[in-house]
Amino acid sequence: MEDRFHYEAAKLENDARQKRLANRKVLEDQPVIDSEERPFNEYGLGQTSRSQLRDTEDTGGMKASNAKPTTARRERPNRISESEKGRSMQIGLEVILGPLLNKKKPPKRRNDGSTQLGPSKRSREKKGITLRSFLAPDLFEDARANSLLPGIPACSSKDKAKALLELIANVPTKNQKEAVSDKRKVLEATRKFTKSAQSDGKGGWKIKGLDTSLYHHQLLGAGFMRDRENSTHAPFGGLMCDFMGFGKTIQALANIVDGQPCEPNDPLRTTLIVVPSHLMQHWKSQILKHCDMDAMGKVLVYCAHSRMETLDLIKDIQYFSVVQSLPRCIKPEALEDEDTIREWWSEAYEKNTGPLHLIKFLRIILDEGHVIKNRAAQTSIAVRALTGKFKWILSGTPIHNHINEFYPHFDFLGVPQLGDFGEFIKQYSKASADDEAEQRLVNLLRSLMIKRTHQSKLFSLPVIKLPDLDEEVVVVNFCEAERAIYERIVDWFLKNMNDLAEVEDSKLTQSRCFLTMVLVLRMFCSHILNTQKIVKRLLSGPFTQELRNISNNESTVSQDTSNKIIAWLLAMKKDTGLRPPKQSPPEDAGLVEKIQGDPVKLIGQFRQFMCELHEQGNWVERLERTSCAACGLQPVNTVITDCMHLYCEECYYLISDENPATEGRLCAKCNSNIKEAAQCCFSDDMALDNLSSSQIIASTSKKQTRENKRKSKIISRSTLKKIVSPRTEDSDEPEGEDEDTDWIEASNGDMPGAKLSKILEIIRTWIVDDSGVKIVVFTQFLDFVQILVASLRREDIPCVCLTGKMRSEYREASMNKFSEDSSIRVMIASLKAGGIGLDMTAAHKCILVDLWWNEAIQDQAFCRLWRIGQNKPVMCIKMIVEDTIDDYLLQLQLNKTAEINNTMGSEVLENRATVKTLLEMFGATVEENENGTFSVTRNRK
């Protein structure tokens, strides 16, 4: 078997070599053609009009012509064939028909870990790619190990053979054998390009068409991409999954410039690059920085939900977005018969499909490819329905939670004999006793994926040598006032969980209540005013007197901080002693429009919709609807839409908004136009599943008066009292007294907090120690961004922001200002907007305000600073509050508890053992009742 494998590998390599030689010969014989002789049509895609795309025959060409083709014009259209169109249609049709045909649902993750990412005993001993490699590596441990090793020696010769011999001579003797093997691999990689790569005399490799030299590992990566595209076996592409900061972009560009078609009349000349909107400027700058534009030609760059343009700096192209180019996969409610649905979809596809799904591209590159992991989402469907000769996925974290997330990737790439999702589960996800399914998946990944991390070695040395990376966990303590409020919130939630044990659908409502508690506590640990809705509710009862008693206790540790917090809370509660509203900062001009829908109406509609799902027994959808439609987690500052989906506030702002004046945003889940959305306070978040019919008020007015808004808030507050507060406590204040006051604006950054005070102290110290220091502060909560901005202004420390609430052009301006303006010391970035795909090497100090469940998300943020281009040691600080939810999160990360660490979305609710484990972390005794609900007793210290 092993000999057979080596034979097949050698055969494939020889086939690819023959293809490269043929390409070189064609290029040598090809006359030089001016790119201006190949103008784009109205769609920017060759000489084919939209009507021609629909009317031409399936032969792949136009009607026969007696005229001899010239090299100046392309006569064949770059359009999809009938079979390719059928495949594109089928992707959407499978999703539409799924509920009707009652297809098998993917299996839940079982306790035996059959669909988890851990390795089996057999795969543990295998070298190369294993399933464990997709769990987050220990970034800091790898960095410390690499810091003890030298970098790969440079070589001065421009003769590649001599350059590599020079390199090997400088490698320690004990590693010579391994180094010689890597030398052969690098030498072979130089020959995989149409024109062989040459040494630049500085330790790098020059590729024709690139102005920037490649590192050794980048040469190997680009060579792997050329091999896949020259292969005689599908798929003709693959996954580029190098760790963040290794240069996936430049490797893809090297593949593009070398992979131009050899025949001058070949219609497939366009590379489509599909990227999230916040990475548009990154790709544009990388192309202009690294590429010879004459060699690059016209590259069609699709920036999600933005404009499409060429980078010849002369002509712009009009376009249809990828998502809008495919008809929505939402069937009319009246259609129930399968044949009728098929007929409707065929007609809708023919009538409404845009040009991007009618054209065959030379190459499609999907950056941050994990965005298509939800196979039923419209974005995933639309991207997979694109047609291209070569397809690539770029992602440092291709999957986050399940092996099942590979299915959309394989479907996009065109893996042969993949079948539908059910077949994928049988072949690759359901591990048998001898691990055949896992081994099949590992073997497939070995052939079509390349993945290097900081653990990887080349010439027995680190693949890339970066400055030192260090971390520090800074532990702070609550003052007595913060501790008292924190403990009261925990008590209230746990009592509420016990009360919910007797309600209908109690297991689900208990779990939702628990997840809300975890979210509230995490927000509270960042700053008390992150949870001002809850705190206002707390201060409407007898708890106010408890805080006054703390303020009068002169022996209390950190008395000054407690006194200041209590003074602010009592002043804001009575709306006394408050400063006038501060002037809007200049950055506010870059914020997107505010959400102004009717919350009471939408909550009522959502409740009715959830009741219908309950009556239909549609438990899976009912569960999914209570998580964020974009990120899948418990919504932060919940936004509810008229299509009955919930979002985190920032996730909602990051949704496409191409033409809000007419159609509005497109829902990330169902692709419906969102005509109305409203923001819910915490009381609404917790009451969405529990509102009684008497509390549902349907408002038909689009514009509520101030009095109507106040009444709506009073209803929400009374709902919170029933759902969260102990039933024995009565308010001693009129309802709605201070609901309209924004305490964050009122305090103007003057209210201290355990983390806030320490962060300001750290920033001040760094600035004093290094006059040129630049600092990035990452947080998950937009309210804390506002709090920290106000606090830094009080300290006269210039800063900029980067959040999902900012328009893309303002986010870009903030990045440029932070990088180029030496007076700007601090950038405050949300993890969702600033943690992925951006280059922040201008900074070398980083503070993570709040831990994330999935460590890979944190590492992505840190690697915005620690990457190629960074020339200073990087320090990352993680802030935690002792004896709080922060402590528990840190322990989970240290213990690598994958079942909890990977997700805190709806799927955690499917595993009751996970919820019980988390409850016990709060020092509670948890007993499971006969009906499957929990009774929780908190053990006091």
Task: Please tell me whether residue 785 adopts helix, strand or coil conformation.
Answer: helix
How far apart are the C-alpha atoms of 702 and 499, rounded to whole Å?
36
Q: What is the pTM of this model?
A: 0.76
Asked if residue 526 has pLDDT above 80, the reply is yes
Given pLDDT bands bounded at 50, 70 and 90, which one contains residue 479? very high
**Domains identified in the chain and CATH numbers:** 82-97+129-259+269-462 (3.40.50.10810)
Residue 678 pairs in a beta bridge with: 640
pLDDT-based confidence at 298, cuts 50/70/90? low
Higher pLDDT, 579 or 822: 822
For residue 888, what pLDDT is reported? 81
Contact 325, 354 (CB under 8 A): yes
* Mean pLDDT confidence for 261-274: 83
Strand 673-674 versus strand 665-666 pairing type: antiparallel
pLDDT tops 90 at residue 786: yes
Most confident among 141-145, 196-200, 294-298 (mean pLDDT): 196-200
> pLDDT tens, 640-683?
999 999 998 888 888 754 444 445 677 877 767 888 999 876 44
> How does residue 10 score in pLDDT terms, banded at 50, 70 and 90?
low
Lowest mean pLDDT of 103-117, 426-440, 869-883, name the range. Answer: 103-117
| Residue 58 pLDDT grade (very low, low, confident, very high; cuts 50, 70, 90) | very low
Distance, in Å, from the CA atom of 717 to the CA atom of 873, rounded to the nearest integer, reads 50
Give the separation between CA 195 and CA 259, rounded to whole angstroms.
11
**Strand spans (E) along 127-200:** 198-199
- What is d(CA 108, CA 620) in angstroms, rounded to the nearest whole number? 11
Phi then psi for residue 259, to 5 deg, are -100, 25
Identify the weakest region by mean pLDDT among 57-61, 344-348, 767-771.
Answer: 57-61
pLDDT tier, 430 (very low <50, low <70, confident <90, very high otherwise): low
User: Which residue in 748, 733, 741 sits closest to 539, CA to CA?
Assistant: 733
The residue length of the chain stands at: 941
Q: Is the pLDDT of residue 247 over 50?
A: yes
pLDDT, tens digit (0-9, with 9 covering 90-100), for 503-524: 777 777 787 888 888 889 999 9
